[in-house]
Amino acid sequence: MNRPDPEFGAYWAITAAWVDVNNDGLLDLFVVNYMQWTYSAEPLCAVNGAAGDYCHPKFYKGQPNQLFLNNGDGTFRDVSKEWGLRSHVGKGMGVGVADYDLDGRPDLFVTNDALYNSLFHNMGNKFEEVAFETGVALTEDGSFISGMGLDFRDFNNDGYPDIAFVALVNQTFPLFQNTGKGNFREVTGESGMRDASLKMSGFGAGLYDFDNDGWKDLFVSGGHVQSITMPGQPVDQPNVVFRNPGASGKWMPLIEEAGFKSAPPARHRGCAFGDLDGDGRIDVVVTALGQDAEIWMNRSEKSGHWLDIALRGTKSNRDGIGARIKIVTKNGAQYNHMTTSVGYASSSYGPVHFGLGTDNRAELVEIHWPSGIVQTLHDVSADQVLKVTEAAR
């Protein structure tokens, strides 16, 4: 998407998200815009005296994001100004959708390149930008970083969506843990993620339970932004999975152990997730600049039981986007939600995946639909794709 605007020039869009912002059963479109760019004014940026490469974001002006509301007749209308988005200029790279305060309305977290992050709190008829108030505008050292892809999902099983996103070398892969009190606490250092990721660069990210132990792990597609880098900063990098330690311990980076050394490193970018062969283990598709796409089939040994939930909305939107799901097994509760906004310049469709560990059934499945309808199922067997149609109120 690249079109002229009388105030901001040409829009350079990076990614977009389907979201039902007003819970009317119709999916709206949120577009993440990057920077103002024209070929005639493009600066020439050299790296180490060599040929030109990507210029630093400081050379460009930012753009506001956009919201297109679904009219219900096959058309959309731009409501960016009415919903309060035009007054917030950023350099957006990724977007995650989740109801972080559980008020029944989907909120939006946007990573920005070398600028403050944005958190747009859904007020019902407009967005309020609350990144500073909620503690997610900057990382723990207060510096601007190049925020790239992300996932906005509960990684500590407390029922509140957390935030994980990736950046470039020496910037870490930040983790923001939802306090359940309307704000977030950064846990990058104490979780071990800071030390583990400091020398890595990433673009795509996704929180999925790859070994089905009941805790969502973090996949990152690795690769530097530039084609020429400083010594000790490789351009081509392998992908990595950070294993979630659960209630205690530190996130562990797995590269060779996960099998990613079996392919040459590359400048990876987008990533998409799904169970491609129906064996209950989440697989990954990754793109790379100038290279063939990679398909990584999950062959985790001794993986646990699993349950996938495929939603069909009736009063809510057809795909159930925005629905929150709680499952309870003998080992405790887990939470997830239906979203297609995962990674970087990518999209991943459902069903919603849960790893159950040693439990072969879920005692309870509770679905909070965007319409407000709450649907419960009891004594659900594991190792299946459970199709659920939204019940009448």
For the chain, the residue count is 393
- pLDDT at position 350: 86
Question: CA-CA distance, 123 to 120, in Å (whole number)?
Answer: 9
Question: CA-CA distance, 41 to 113, in Å (whole number)?
Answer: 20
- pLDDT at position 1: 44
- pLDDT at position 40: 67
Question: CA-CA distance, 391 to 301, in Å (whole number)?
Answer: 37
Q: How far is CA 202 from CA 154, 164, 269, 286, 384, in A?
A: 21, 12, 8, 12, 33
Q: How far is CA 97 from CA 22, 263, 307, 310, 316, in A?
A: 14, 32, 22, 18, 16
Q: Is the pLDDT of residue 81 over 60?
A: yes
Q: What is the mean pLDDT of the chain?
A: 93
Q: Which of 363, 352, 343 is nearest to 322 (CA)?
A: 352
Could you tell me the pTM of the whole model?
A: 0.94
Confidence band for 232, pLDDT divided at 50, 70 and 90: low
Please state the φ and ψ torsions of residue 337, each to the nearest 5 degrees.
Answer: -145, 160
Enter the tokens of residue 290. 């100038």
Enter the tokens of residue 243. 């294993």
Q: Which of 356, 350, 315 is nearest to 334 (CA)?
A: 356
Q: Which amino acid is at 196?
A: A
User: In this predicted model, what pLDDT tens digit does every residue of 169-209 receive, in sequence order?
Assistant: 999 999 999 999 999 999 999 999 999 999 999 999 999 99
3 state SS of 367? strand
User: In this predicted model, what pLDDT tens digit does every residue of 297-310 receive, in sequence order?
Assistant: 999 998 999 999 99
Peptide bond into 106 cis (omega under 30): no
242: Cβ–Cβ under 8 A, 6 or more apart, which residues? Answer: 173, 193, 196, 197, 217, 218, 220, 251, 252, 253, 254
- pLDDT at position 2: 47
Confidence band for 379, pLDDT divided at 50, 70 and 90: very high
